[in-house]
Structure 1
Amino acid sequence: MEQQKIVETMRELVGASSVMTAADDMAPHLIDWRKRHTGTAACVVFARSVEHVSKVLAFCDANGIRVFPQGGNTSVCGGSVPDASGQSILLNLGKMNRILDLNADNNSMIVEAGCILADLQQAALDADRMFPLTLGAEGSCQIGGNLATNAGGTNVVRFGNTRDLVLGLQVVMPNGRVWDGLRTLRKNNSGYDLKNLFVGAEGTLGVITAAALKLFPKPRAVATALVGFEAVETAVKVGLDLQAAFPGELVGLELISKSEFEISLRHAAKARNPFQSTPAWMVLVELAASAGTSEALADRLAGALEAPSESGQIVDAVVASNEQQRGDLWNIRHSVTEANGREGMGLTHDIAVPTYLIPAFVAQAGAALAEHYPAAVPVIVGHMGDGNLHYIAMFSHESWAQVADKPDTQSKVSHLLYDIAAAMGGTFSAEHGIGSLHVEEMSIYKNEQELAMMRQVKDLFDPNDTMNPGRVLPPRNASATASHA
C-alpha cells in the first residue's frame, strides 16, 4: 500500500491530530535514547484509546502493514524503534496514560499502558501503598514497555520482575480483537494463564493497552547502606549472608565495581563519594519493613555488618542516617547508565548467572577481555541478589575508533562474554529483553525446541507477522554459528 494511503487511513481512524508525519517531529521517535538504533516509518500514530489501537491493528493486519509499538522509547536493545522499510507505522501509547482505578483495600490498581512508571509509584504512595518496580529510567519509561520487556530493576530480589507484579491485562490482538483480562484476583486457576504470554513478548503477540497491578503496604521503615569490599568473592558472600539475615526485609542488593563507581562520580549530577578511599567493590544494601522505625532498622543493619567488618571482610561501610543520605547513595546507582554514555563507548551485556557464580564469571570475563580486547575496561553494576550483572566492556572514544571498523567487533566482544555465562548455566538477557539487538543470540543460545514452540505461539497469535517483526525471534532460516543448548 502506498505511504500516502496509509497516512490518510490512519487519520481517518484516530483523527488527524493524532498522526505525525513531519520528519523533524518524527525524528525523536525513530531513534533510541542511546542513539544506536534508528528506523523509518510512514507515520507515528498516537493512540488515545483501546478503540484506536483496535482499529489501527485491524487495518494493518488486513493490509499487511507492519506495526511497531512504542512506549517511553527507553529500550537498550533496539526494541522500541521501527525497521528501515519506511512502510510501517509506529504506534505510540504515550497518550493512554490514565490511572483507571486504585483500590488500596485490594492492594491493586488498573492503569493504561502509557503511564509513566514514576507516576504510578507516586500514586501508590499517595494512597499509602507501594508499587515496587523501580529502575533508572522510571522518570520516562512507561508501564506498557515495562510489561512488554518484563523489566527488572533494583527491587527484584524481594518483589520479582514485572511479571510478578501483574494481576491482569488488556491486550489488543494483531487482528484488532480485544482481550479484556483486567482481573484483580490473586487466585484464578480457570485455564491457561494467558497474561504471561504477553509479558516479555515485546509487542510481538499483541499490544498491551492496560494492566491490573499489585500494590503492597507502604514501608514504615527503610535502611540503606553502601558497603565496601576488596574482593568480589567477599562481596557476594556477605551479600548472601545479609539475604539470610533479613528474610522479607532485604529489597535491594546492588553490586558496583570501582570502575563503575568512579564513572558515576565523574559524570552524575550531585554525585558524592561517601568513602575516603574508594573500595574495589561496593554493595548497595536496602532494607524495608512494615513496622518499626528507620532508625531501629538502620541499627539492625549496622549490627549485621559489625562481624564481617571486624573480621576484615568489609573494608568500609556507610549507613544512611537520613533521607538525604539515602538519596545520595541511590543517586550514584541510578546514574550509571547516563554516566556510562558520557564516559565512552560501553558495550553493555545483560547477563545472569547463579548468584554464587558471580565471582567466577567476573574472573573469567575479565581475563577474556584482557586477552582479546585489552583496551576495554570492565565496568560492572548489577542486581547481585538475583545474579543479574550489567557487564560493560568500556572503550574510550579513541580506542573504540580503532576497532569499530573491524568486522563484527561488537558481536565478537559480546559472544566472548555470553559463552562464559552460558557455560555456567546463565543467560545473555536477564531483564533488558531481546529487541532487534539480540536476535542472533536467540539462534545461538536457545535450543531448537524452545524456538519452535515460540514460533508456534507467534504463528497462532500473529499469523501475518505484522506485530513488531524482526524482534525476539530469529528468521526461520537462521542458522546458529555456535551452539550452547
Structure 2
Amino acid sequence: MIEPSTIARFTSLLGPKGVVTDPEDIAPWTSDWRGRYHGAAAAILAPASTQEVAATVALAADFGVALVPQGGNTSMVGGATPPADGSALILSLRRMNAIRSLSADDNLAVCEAGVILSVLHDAAEGVGRRFPLSLGAKGSATIGGLVSTNAGGTQVLRHGTMRALVEGVEAVLPDGSIFDGLDALKKDNRGYDVKQLLIGAEGTLGIVTAAALRLVPAIAARAVGWVGVETPAEALALLRLVEARLGDSVEGFEVIADETLGFVLGHIPGTRSPIETRTPWHVLIEVDHNDMREPGPSERLESALADAFERGIAIDAAIAANEAQADAFWRIRESLSESEKAQGPALQYDISVPVARMPAFMIDAAQAAQAQFPGTTASSFGHLGDGNVHFHVRAPKGTSNGPAWIAAHGRAINAFVHDAVVAAGGSISAEHGIGQMKRAELGRLASPARISALRAIKAAFDPKGIMNPGKLIPLPEEA
C-alpha cells in the first residue's frame, strides 16, 4: 500500500482539488465498465495542466509509485483498472478538458486528453468540420484514451483508426519530461516516430496530455441504407460493388447477423427492422457527400443497390427517407453491445482477419465454437470493410452465474477462438487493445520477436516500470 505521507506530497503539489482520497468517490473508478476487473487505489490524482502532469509523474518516479492513466474509464479490456493490491494510484486526465484550438482552415483541432469525443464532434460541427471517428461510448470516451488505445469505430473504412487521424501528440514521459510533438508536420524525418509509439501504447510508455487531430469537411448530404443478404460472402460482394460504384464516399459498412438484430429489437424500446423480409444477415451502409453535386448520395446508393438486386446479391433493402430514419438505422448498430449484454453471460472478442477471409471465418468459427462447447451460441457483427468484427460466444441458456461460467470455461474458449483467428492470419485485438484481458494470450500467440520488441521499448521508456503496470506487456511466465 502507498503511505499517507506519500499521498500528502501529491496533495501539496496538486492542491485539494487535484487529489481525491474519499473511498466512495474513488470506488466507481476502480472497476472496468464491464465489471470484470476490480482494483484498489489510495487516491485519484487529477492534475489540471500538462505541467502538473509532468510534476506528478516526476514525483511518482522519485517515490517509485506506479500510475494508472485514466480518461472515461471505457476500456473494453481492463486497460484503465488499477491493480488489486493498491500498489498504484489512478492518474485522471478528466480535468484537462480544453479544446486548445480549432481551425477550419487547417482542418485541425488540438484537444487536451480529457476532452470527451462527443464534445469534439459538436465543436467541429460549429466550424463546418467534423472529426471522423465515432463509437458507442462517444459520450464518455476521452481523446487521451482514444489515442492511447488507437481506437477504431464505424468510420475506419474511409478515414482509418486514430493512427491516421492523429497529426501530433503532447505527452509526459515516465521521467516527468514533456514530449512536445503537437506540430502537425507533413514531413518530419528526425528518426523514430515517438508519436506513433505512444498511439496504442495504452499508457505504458507515457501519458498523452493533448493531441492534434485531423478534421474533415462536414457532411453536406448522406444516404443510409439497410440491406438483407443471405451470407457474409454476399455482404462482401455488396461492399465491393458499392465501392466500385461509389468510390471513397462509402463511409460505413457494418454487417449484422439476424439473431443479433433480434436481440436489439427485443431489448431496445422503439427499434424496428428497417426491412420487412427476414434475412439471415444484414448490412448497414452509409454514403456521404461533402458537397451537393448531383446525383446525390441517395440516388447513387439506390442505383448501386438496383445493380445488387440484378446480380442476386441483395434480398431486400431500404434507404432512409430522412435524417430521423437514418439515425434510427444507426441506433440499431450502436445498441448491439447493450442488447448482447442483456442476453446473459458471454465472452466477447474484438478480432480482425484479412477481409477476404472474414466471411468464411464468421460462419466457420461460430459453428466450430458451438460444436466444441455444447449449449453455447456464437455470432458476430461489425466492420466487415476493414476486417474487424466482434465475435461473441454466449453461455448456454439458463446460465445464472456468469462469473462462474466464465471462470470454468473462459480460458478454453479464449484459446479456441484466438487459435482460429491466428490460423486465419488475423489479430486477437483489432481496436480495443490488449489491456490485462488479452495480455496472457498475446504472450502465448505472438512471435518471440514481437514480445522481445515490446519489452525492449517498454524498458527503454519506462525503466522503473511505473506506467500502467500489468497492462499490454506479457509477463515472463506468459511468453
TM over 0.5, shorter chain: yes
Counting aligned pairs with the same residue, the percent is 37
Alignment pair present for 1:470 and 2:461: no
- Residue 272 of structure 1: aligned partner: 272
Bigger shift: residues 333-342 or 96-105: 333-342
- Residue 96 of structure 1: aligned partner: 96
- Residue by residue over 1:366-415, the C-alpha shift from the partner in whole angstroms, topping out at 9 and shown as x without a partner, is 22222122322223211011010100112257336489358651121122
Alignment pair present for 1:310 and 2:310: yes
SS at match of 1:139: coil
Deviation of the 1:296 alpha carbon: 2.1
Cα distance in 2 for residues equivalent to 1:257 and 1:215? 33
Deviation of the 1:214 alpha carbon: 0.5
Alpha-carbon contact 1:3-1:87 (below 8 Å) kept: no
Deviation of the 1:295 alpha carbon: 7.6
What amino acid maps onto 2:240 in structure 1? L
Deviation of the 1:188 alpha carbon: 2.4
What amino acid maps onto 1:87 in structure 2? S
Bigger shift: residues 370-379 or 96-105: 370-379
- Residue 26 of structure 2: aligned partner: 26
- Residue by residue over 1:139-180, the C-alpha shift from the partner in whole angstroms, topping out at 9 and shown as x without a partner, is 110010000000000000000000100111000011111111
Alpha-carbon contact 2:232-2:360 (below 8 Å) kept: no
Alpha-carbon contact 2:237-2:313 (below 8 Å) kept: no
Cα distance in 1 for residues equivalent to 2:31 and 2:202? 17
- What aligned pairs does 1:323-338 form with structure 2 within 5 A after superposition? 323-338=323-338
TM-score (norm 2): 0.96
SS at match of 2:203: coil
SS at match of 2:188: coil
Bigger shift: residues 272-281 or 82-91: 272-281
Alpha-carbon contact 2:253-2:385 (below 8 Å) kept: yes
SS at match of 2:469: coil
Cα distance in 1 for residues equivalent to 2:477 and 2:198? 25
Structure 2: any 5+ residue segments left out of the alignment? none
SS at match of 1:247: helix
Cα distance in 1 for residues equivalent to 2:186 and 2:130? 17
Alpha-carbon contact 1:295-1:321 (below 8 Å) kept: no
- What aligned pairs does 1:134-213 form with structure 2 within 5 A after superposition? 134-213=134-213
Bigger shift: residues 180-189 or 191-200: 180-189
Cα distance in 1 for residues equivalent to 2:107 and 2:64? 42
Structure 1: any 5+ residue segments left out of the alignment? 480-485
Bigger shift: residues 137-146 or 266-275: 266-275
Cα distance in 1 for residues equivalent to 2:294 and 2:4? 60
Quick one: structure 1 residues 369 and 454, their matched pair in 2 at CA, closer, same or farther if it must change by over 3 Å? Answer: same
Alpha-carbon contact 1:174-1:462 (below 8 Å) kept: yes
Alpha-carbon contact 1:6-1:42 (below 8 Å) kept: no
What amino acid maps onto 1:155 in structure 2? Q
Bigger shift: residues 239-248 or 211-220: 239-248
SS at match of 2:248: coil
Cα distance in 1 for residues equivalent to 2:145 and 2:257? 29
Cα distance in 2 for residues equivalent to 1:137 and 1:294? 35
Cα distance in 2 for residues equivalent to 1:2 and 1:334? 41
Cα distance in 2 for residues equivalent to 1:59 and 1:403? 39
Cα distance in 2 for residues equivalent to 1:400 and 1:351? 27
- Residue 421 of structure 2: aligned partner: 421
Bigger shift: residues 57-66 or 71-80: 57-66
Deviation of the 1:433 alpha carbon: 0.2
Quick one: structure 1 residues 385 and 7, their matched pair in 2 at CA, closer, same or farther if it must change by over 3 Å? Answer: same
- Residue 288 of structure 1: aligned partner: 288
Quick one: structure 1 residues 32 and 451, their matched pair in 2 at CA, closer, same or farther if it must change by over 3 Å? Answer: same
TM-score (norm 1): 0.95
- Residue 347 of structure 2: aligned partner: 347
- What aligned pairs does 1:18-97 form with structure 2 within 5 A after superposition? 18-97=18-97
Quick one: structure 1 residues 294 and 276, their matched pair in 2 at CA, closer, same or farther if it must change by over 3 Å? Answer: farther
- Residue 125 of structure 2: aligned partner: 125
SS at match of 2:478: coil
Alpha-carbon contact 1:243-1:250 (below 8 Å) kept: yes
Cα distance in 2 for residues equivalent to 1:455 and 1:202? 14
Bigger shift: residues 193-202 or 259-268: 259-268
